[in-house]
Homo-oligomer: A and B are copies of this chain.
Amino acid sequence: MASLEELRLQLDEIDDQMVRLYEERMKVCAQVGEYKIKNGKKVLDRQREKNKLQAVSEKASSEFNKKGVRELYEQLMSMSRKLQYQQLVKAGALGRLPFIEMESLDAKNARIVFPGTEGAYSQAATKDYFGENCNSFYVRTFREAMEAIEDGAADYAVLPIENSTAGSVDEMYDLLVEFENYIVGETIIPIIHTLSGVPGAKLTDIERVYSKGVALMQASHFLDDHSDWQQISVANTAIAARKIRDDKDQAQAAVCSAYAAEVHGLEILEENINDDQTNCTRFIVVTNQKVFLKHAQKISICLELPHESGSLYRLLSHFIYNDLNMTRIESRPIEGKNWEYRFFIDFEGNMADPAVKNAIRGLREESRNMRILGNY
């Protein structure tokens, strides 16, 4: 039996030849790319790829190697497609950008909508992004905020998309698919809940606690110590605070921010009641125009997948082959199709980068109903 060292020398020799062949192959693929540009042919030729996979796997001698060679060639063909997309970009044949580039958002003249009421965390996010004195108003629900920008009643909406402890805001993902609005910005703000009641109320008076369901969950350690309290969920933490003010009932309290308590004239019964002291929420800024900021560096897309084993994996290869860092992947059920999923993917990049163009073209060709939700 050969020693490990001898075996590794053999591998090195094989690898020398492999790399040489790889380079030769890419050279020929570049010539195919030139031909395709000249003749206006699409980069992805599914039939040709199928035939090639069939042919190379037949050349291998064992089942294990047939499968291995097939996988290898799927990757090689994906690489040559990437090369050809780059050639298209160089030849100026990828066309105009689907989003219009902007230098900056006109925060001064913008009218902004947020869900909830005075004192909502989304109001804090609005002020954080657009400035303390921005021109804003509120509606009750996320849906109403999306409608307000669709209708033009507001220029921008500020909406929560993800919490550091509770995870994705599923409803927002669904609304991003339902409405043709686009993400143009994001901001992260800390979420620090208090328990607040009417002035004069004491902790021992409390029988019912109102808040947004996810906020009740985020304060569950504190609330578990008062398991006799009834928990009632309403649309928003600040709406809960307003209700406590309106009901004037010492047995009722809200889980809301200190700011919401102040705005609605409540007294803080307990500060900082979240389980996680670093709790924060990422908000997105949404508009009805298909625009992106010049310095944007994150892209959100959604897509549906054909029912094929490995198709998700193959799609993800477009991020790797184009050197794009995928930062997030989420799935949501597709309405009316049981156990089929729509994927939401965030990755780093700007619409104007060739690598992003390459990836998007590839993703679109290999998925269903792909949409760019924004570049921000």
A interface residues (Cβ-Cβ under 8 A, vs B)? 1-2, 4, 7-8, 10-12, 14-19, 21-26, 28-29, 31-32, 34-35, 52, 55-56, 59-61, 64-65, 67-69, 71-73, 75-76, 79, 83, 86, 163-167, 170-171, 213, 217, 232-233, 276, 278, 280, 309-310, 312-313, 316-317, 319-321, 323, 325-326, 328-333, 335-336, 338-339, 341
With the chains together, A29 CA to B65 CA distance in Å?
12
- Which one of B32, B164, B170 lies within 8 Å of A333 (CB-CB)? B164
With the chains together, A233 CA to B295 CA distance in Å?
43
Q: Which residues of B contact A310 (CB under 8 A)?
A: 319-320, 325-326
A336 and B278 contacting across the interface, CB-CB below 8 Å = yes
Nearest-neighbour CB distance to chain B for A88, whole angstroms, equals 15
Nearest-neighbour CB distance to chain B for A342, whole angstroms, equals 10
With the chains together, A373 CA to B26 CA distance in Å?
44
A323 and B67 contacting across the interface, CB-CB below 8 Å = yes
With the chains together, A79 CA to B67 CA distance in Å?
10
A75 and B71 contacting across the interface, CB-CB below 8 Å = yes
Nearest-neighbour CB distance to chain B for A67, whole angstroms, equals 7
A333 and B165 contacting across the interface, CB-CB below 8 Å = yes
Q: Could you jot down 5 A-B contacts, CB within 8 Å? A: A15-B52, A22-B60, A164-B339, A165-B335, A167-B332
- Apart from A22-B60, A67-B323, A312-B316, 13 more pairs, CB < 8 Å: A2-B31, A17-B21, A19-B56, A22-B72, A71-B79, A75-B75, A163-B333, A164-B338, A167-B331, A167-B332, A233-B233, A312-B326, A313-B316
B60 and A23 contacting across the interface, CB-CB below 8 Å = yes
With the chains together, A153 CA to B12 CA distance in Å?
60
- Which one of B10, B26, B55 lies within 8 Å of A68 (CB-CB)? B26
Determine the residue in chain B with the shortest Cβ distance to A323.
B67
B15 and A55 contacting across the interface, CB-CB below 8 Å = yes
Nearest-neighbour CB distance to chain B for A137, whole angstroms, equals 20
Nearest-neighbour CB distance to chain B for A33, whole angstroms, equals 10
B19 and A59 contacting across the interface, CB-CB below 8 Å = yes
B35 and A1 contacting across the interface, CB-CB below 8 Å = yes
A76 and B72 contacting across the interface, CB-CB below 8 Å = yes
With the chains together, A154 CA to B245 CA distance in Å?
45
Please name the 7 residue pairs, one residue from A and one from B, whose CB atoms are nearest each other, closest first. Answer: A164-B338, A309-B325, A19-B59, A233-B233, A14-B25, A10-B28, A68-B79
Determine the residue in chain B with the shortest Cβ distance to A16.
B59
